[in-house]
Amino acid sequence: MSAESNPAGNKNERFEELLRNESDDGEAPAVPAATVIVLRDTDDGMQTLMLRKNSKIAFGGMWVFPGGKIDDDDHDESGEILVAARRAAVREAHEEARLEVDADSLVMFSHWIPPTIAPKRFATWFFAARVDAEHAVIDDGEIVDMEWTTPAACLTRHHEGEIEIVPPTWVTLHTLRDYHTVAEALSDLGSRPPQHFETRVAKGRNGRIVMWHGDAAYDSDDPDAEGGRHRIEMRETGWVYDDSGAR
């Protein structure tokens, strides 16, 4: 079991806004996408690159990892979606940050699907990879800011209300924060089966609850159901994460 909380600030309002912009039929199709968490070793510990989205586009203002939807040109003759996802991850790292990533080095460790009521739904493969780079370059168009940071420091900034991130980013940073080196992180992530997160959202007594498989309320829609927990509770006083029922 692990748990962590952070002040809500305006982050809960931002999440509510994302949910309110619902598609006409209440269920937008999930677009295949890929994200790459680029990692490097420094004297201050393992760092990852965070990018801030332009406020005028989807998830505007949010801090994210390099990534985006899988394009037609990302597919090869094999027709395999994971091959296309790897190619998309490499392409996005170059387009958004001018970073060179070796497709064969990518470690796929999770897959995320947003709730059906979200207007922009991306079924996203999350990869991690080492980069030996001191600098990244953004286009100041789709991406307007960047920062190399330790996962723990990024969570602290979110805790203090300085930045906005969505639950998949938060959980990924939470997963990475205890690794000291890139080699340690990639070895451990590569040794475990990739985890699938299909998100459901419910209202609890203390605010929104974002749930995944392993939570006792995932199928029952009863947030107080007895059993394991795999959720973020978006309380007014802060987010609380519990993965005691994760599988």
Distance CA 168, CA 39 (A): 17
- Look at residue 55 in the predicted model and tell me its pLDDT: 66
- Look at residue 206 in the predicted model and tell me its pLDDT: 82
Instruction: Yes or no: say if 197 and 211 are a contact pair by the CB < 8 Å rule.
Output: no
- Look at residue 49 in the predicted model and tell me its pLDDT: 97
- Cα-Cα-Cα-Cα dihedral of 20, 26, 31, 36, to 10°? 30
- Cα-Cα-Cα-Cα dihedral of 148, 152, 155, 161, to 10°? -80
The C-alpha angle with vertex 71 and arms to 182 and 62, in degrees rounded to 5, equals 55
Strand ranges (E), the chain: 5-6, 31-42, 45-53, 63-64, 67-69, 107-113, 122-130, 143-149, 195-198, 200-204, 207-211, 231-235, 238-242
- Look at residue 132 in the predicted model and tell me its pLDDT: 87
3-state secondary structure of 154: helix
Each residue's pLDDT, cut to its tens digit, for the chain (247 residues) gives 344 444 444 545 544 454 444 333 445 578 999 999 999 999 999 999 999 988 665 656 889 999 999 999 999 999 999 999 999 999 999 999 999 999 999 999 999 999 887 777 899 999 999 998 778 998 777 899 999 999 999 998 988 888 999 999 999 999 999 999 999 999 999 999 999 999 999 988 888 899 999 999 998 878 889 999 999 998 777 788 999 988 6
Question: How far apart, in Å, are the Cα atoms of 45 and each of 99, 132, 153, 161?
Answer: 20, 14, 11, 23
- Look at residue 7 in the predicted model and tell me its pLDDT: 46
Residue type, 195: Q
- The first and second tokens of residue 68, run together, are 């985006």
Distance CA 18, CA 155 (A): 21
Strand ranges (E), 61-204: 63-64, 67-69, 107-113, 122-130, 143-149, 195-198, 200-204
Distance CA 142, CA 96 (A): 8
Architecture label for domain 26-198: Alpha-Beta Complex (3.90)
- The first and second tokens of residue 231, run together, are 């959720």
